[in-house]
Chain A
Amino acid sequence: QLQLQESGPGLAKPSETLSLTCTVSGDSFSRTGFYWGWIRQPPGKGLEWIGTVHYTGSNYFNPSLKSRLTISIDKSKNQFSLKLTSVTASDTAVYYCARLQLWFRQIDFWGQGTLVRVSS
């Protein structure tokens, strides 16, 4: 059974960089037809798609976050990572890593989510 686990600091300072890593286990990270992505949810609010990457390196980003966003893959460790620069309080959210199918037609596996607070 595929499992995803987010890891990283639970606190980031304003104007600094938020960094998270997702470790994938239980299945091939390079299986054709699947993508890996990040979704966030501010406290008490709805879901927001952040971005998605394919193991070949192709990436797709939310236009509203694109200028601050990097998503990278480490195939040797079955991990993918998120870096969001110049964070503000509005970036406080539960961050989920997930597996998406082709055309983002469904998100079939999710991590448990990790809360990141942006505060000085």
Chain B
Amino acid sequence: QSALTQPASVSGSPGQSIAISCTGTSSDVGGYDYVSWYQQYPGKAPKVMIYDVTNRPSGVSNRFSGSKSGNTASLTISGLQAEDEADYYCSSYTSISTLVFGGGTKVTVL
């Protein structure tokens, strides 16, 4: 199975909004509403930020939002803050009952 496609890096100034895309196929992202997004700081385990395309787990800031159109899902971070600087990964359930991750996006706060 091929990894989902994410941009290697995205940057923005404090207070701005940024979006990270996650492109798959009709066999994964486009076929199921089981896309999730993870935030990972260096040396730490990932933390779920969005699941089921748009849902935020309890305790996650409402500055994080998710969406999907066709085979591409997106994570938007509004009101960018220094603490948002991290790596972000998308994942999706697939038609062969597996899980596939994106290659990861490094978010830099300028």
Contact = CB atoms under 8 A, between A and B. Distances in A.
Given A106-B57, A110-B45, A63 B99 contact: no
A49 B91 contact: yes
A105 B45 contact: no
Contacts of B69: none
A61 B96 CA distance: 10
Nearest to A97: B45
A113 B42 CA distance: 12
B104 A46 contact: yes
Interface residues on B, range: 20 to 34
Given A49-B91, A112-B45, A106 B36 contact: yes
Contacts, number: 66
Interface in A30-61: 37, 39, 46-49, 52, 60-61
Interface string B12-54: 0000000000000000000010101010100001111001100
A46 B48 contact: no
B38 A105 contact: no
Interface in A93-114: 96, 100-101, 103-108, 110-113
A47 B102 CA distance: 8
Contact-size category for A: 20 to 34
A39 B98 CA distance: 12
Nearest to A111: B45
Contacts of B40: 47
Interface of A: 37, 39, 46-49, 52, 60-64, 96, 100-101, 103-108, 110-113
Interface of B: 1, 3, 32, 34, 36, 38, 40, 45-48, 51-52, 57, 89, 91, 93, 96-104
